[in-house]
């Protein structure tokens, strides 16, 4: 079956679309595009006309997505069942997952991408894939009752939209204020005393913050290093998660078929530019709450720590390398730069080794990272605290990712020991 990929993919995409459209009507009955282009068949492309949030469309309400800020998530008609944003995307929506994901208070994330008919996503070796104007990325956050049983009971909290309009990306947060619909939460939302049981059987209770729409730019933007008063460059808003290295993994599709996501997108005519030598595409290490950190070799530990630091920190802690000239992440000037494609052996100081903390610091933690000594490394403290003055990441979490903290602690402790200069 693997040796006859295109027919299998076409059939799979067709079955997904029929399920999303609610049945098996013929293409002449419902306007479906051919199976070979089904994956990016978005039931029409944005017309450019001013949309209406209450428009009665047969598929995705593209015009509203491109022009309006609607009060309810259901106004955009992204899901066949408006009360369930975790499955059943409207025709053209494709589910995806990441090999190592940004931690967000133990929530499970349901991700879908919608690309208008006739447009494709362009491959990028290092940065987020280049999504065309009209793209909509949805991410729904649901807190499981028990993180060891994520297919069990869960509380759906919010759905975030990233919409690529003609003037750039726009972020909109929607809070599930009822079981039937999510409402716009421009000013954010705070939920108190939520709880879950983690993989170690511990009950965790914490507050959860749905971000303000304005907060999204702090993580999603790269900023210019202004060189003078006449430098008018503006910050650039970018997606964070959907990079080739995190999509380069198998995914179980709705009909049970397991297939590599990048190959699935390419063979479904959603992704262009995927290298012919697929083995040359970078593949980030897999890390999740089930990972047995104690069993990892030093090489595996290094790979997983790099992936974790990249997805959780490097959207801010980055500079040069693959960015446009003159741009950096919001914390790129801090000296800690944690991109996945940055080699530790070339510049340990970029990973915080024996580097004085720039952002405040704390007594008892003289350097960001002290190899072999996680207990006195400021980076480790920042990952393990919920104190707003010190925690990292600053946004997106109210509790400590204990499994992730163990990973980074183990990574620091196994680094080749170095004698950092005494603090004056």
Listed by start position, the domains of the chain span 5-280, 293-414
Rounded mean pLDDT, 32-38: 32
Q: Are 238 and 128 in contact (CB under 8 A)?
A: yes
Rounded Cα gap, residues 54 and 63, in angstroms: 11
CA atoms within 13 Å, Cβ hemisphere of 279: 0
CA 404-408-413 angle, 5° bins: 145
Long-range (24+ apart) CB contacts under 8 A made by 200-206 are 200/402, 202/402, 204/106, 204/399, 206/105, 206/386, 206/398, 206/399
CA atoms within 13 Å, Cβ hemisphere of 138: 29
Q: Are 168 and 157 in contact (CB under 8 A)?
A: no
What's the confidence (pLDDT) of residue 421? 66
Q: How confident is the model at residue 10 (pLDDT cuts 50, 70, 90)?
A: very low
Rounded mean pLDDT, 249-273: 94
What's the confidence (pLDDT) of residue 35? 27
Q: How many other C-beta atoms are found inside a 10 Å radius of the C-beta of residue 421? A: 9
What's the confidence (pLDDT) of residue 43? 45
What's the confidence (pLDDT) of residue 151? 84
Q: Kindly report the average pLDDT of the chain as a whole number.
A: 84
Burial of 273 (C-beta count, 10 Å sphere; 0-12/13-18/19+): middle
Instruction: Please choose, from the candidates 88, 94, 96, 86, the residue with its C-alpha nearest in 3D space to the C-alpha of residue 249.
Output: 96
What's the confidence (pLDDT) of residue 409? 97
Is a pLDDT exceeding 50 seen at residue 40? no
Of 13-22, 40-49, 80-89, which gets the smallest average pLDDT? 13-22
Q: What is the pTM of this model?
A: 0.85
Is a pLDDT exceeding 50 seen at residue 248? yes
Q: How confident is the model at residue 358 (pLDDT cuts 50, 70, 90)?
A: confident
pLDDT tens per residue, range 194-230 = 999 988 889 999 999 998 877 777 677 777 776 556 5
pLDDT tens per residue, range 123-142 = 999 999 999 999 999 999 99
Q: How many other C-beta atoms are found inside a 10 Å radius of the C-beta of residue 234? A: 9
C-alpha distances in Å from residue 282, one per residue of 277, 302, 308, 342: 11, 16, 15, 13
What's the confidence (pLDDT) of residue 80? 96
Q: Are 156 and 172 in contact (CB under 8 A)?
A: no
Note if the bond before 393 is cis, omega within 30 degrees. yes
Q: How confident is the model at residue 392 (pLDDT cuts 50, 70, 90)?
A: confident
Is a pLDDT exceeding 80 seen at residue 26? no
Q: Which residue has the higher pLDDT, 6 or 98?
A: 98
Q: What radius of gyration, in Å, describes the C-alpha atoms of the chain?
A: 22
CA 330-333-335 angle, 5° bins: 120
Rounded mean pLDDT, 136-164: 94
What's the confidence (pLDDT) of residue 32? 36
What's the confidence (pLDDT) of residue 146? 94
Is a pLDDT exceeding 60 seen at residue 273? yes
What sign does the CA torsion over 395, 205, 96, 76 have? negative
What's the confidence (pLDDT) of residue 394? 78
């Amino acid at each position: 079956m693997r040796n006859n990929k295109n027919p299998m993919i076409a059939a799979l995409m067709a079955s997904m679309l029929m399920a999303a459209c609610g049945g098996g009507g013929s293409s002449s009955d419902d306007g479906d595009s051919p199976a070979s282009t089904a994956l990016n068949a978005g039931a029409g492309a944005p017309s450019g006309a001013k949309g209406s949030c209450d428009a009665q469309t047969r598929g995705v309400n593209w015009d509203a997505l491109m022009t309006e800020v609607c009060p309810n998530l259901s106004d955009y008609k992204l899901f066949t069942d408006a009360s369930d944003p975790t499955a059943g995307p409207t025709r053209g929506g494709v589910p995806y997952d990441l090999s190592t994901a940004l931690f967000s208070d133990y929530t499970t994330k349901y991700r879908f991408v919608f690309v208008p008919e006739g447009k494709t996503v362009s491959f990028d070796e290092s940065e987020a894939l280049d999504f065309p104007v009209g793209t909509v990325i949805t991410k729904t956050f649901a807190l499981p009752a028990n993180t060891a049983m994520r297919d069990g009971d869960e509380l759906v909290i919010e759905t975030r939209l990233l919409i690529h309009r003609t003037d750039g990306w726009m972020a909109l947060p929607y809070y599930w204020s009822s079981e039937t619909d999510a409402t716009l939460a421009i000013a954010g939302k705070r939920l108190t005393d939520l709880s879950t049981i983690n993989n170690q059987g511990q009950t965790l209770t914490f507050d959860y913050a749905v971000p303000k729409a304005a907060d999204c730019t702090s993580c999603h933007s790269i900023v210019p290093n202004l060189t003078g008063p006449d430098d008018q460059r503006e910050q650039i808003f970018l997606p964070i998660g959907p990079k080739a290295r995190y999509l380069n993994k198998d995914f179980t599709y709705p009909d049970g078929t397991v297939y590599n996501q990048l190959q699935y997108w390419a063979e479904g005519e959603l992704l262009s530019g995927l290298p012919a030598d697929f083995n040359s595409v970078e593949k980030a290490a897999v890390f999740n709450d089930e990972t047995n950190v104690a069993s990892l070799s030093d090489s595996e530990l290094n790979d997983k720590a790099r992936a974790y630091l990249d997805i959780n920190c490097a959207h801010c802690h980055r500079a040069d390398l693959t960015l446009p000239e003159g741009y950096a992440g919001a914390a790129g000037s801090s000296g800690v730069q944690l991109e996945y494609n940055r080699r530790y052996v070339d510049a340990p100081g970029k990973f915080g080794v024996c580097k004085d903390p720039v952002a405040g610091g704390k007594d008892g933690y003289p350097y960001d990272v002290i190899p072999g000594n996680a207990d006195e490394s400021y980076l480790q403290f920042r990952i393990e605290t919920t104190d707003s003055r010190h925690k990292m990441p600053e946004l997106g979490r109210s509790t400590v990712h204990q499994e992730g903290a163990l990973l980074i602690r183990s990574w620091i402790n196994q680094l080749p020991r170095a004698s950092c200069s005494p603090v004056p």
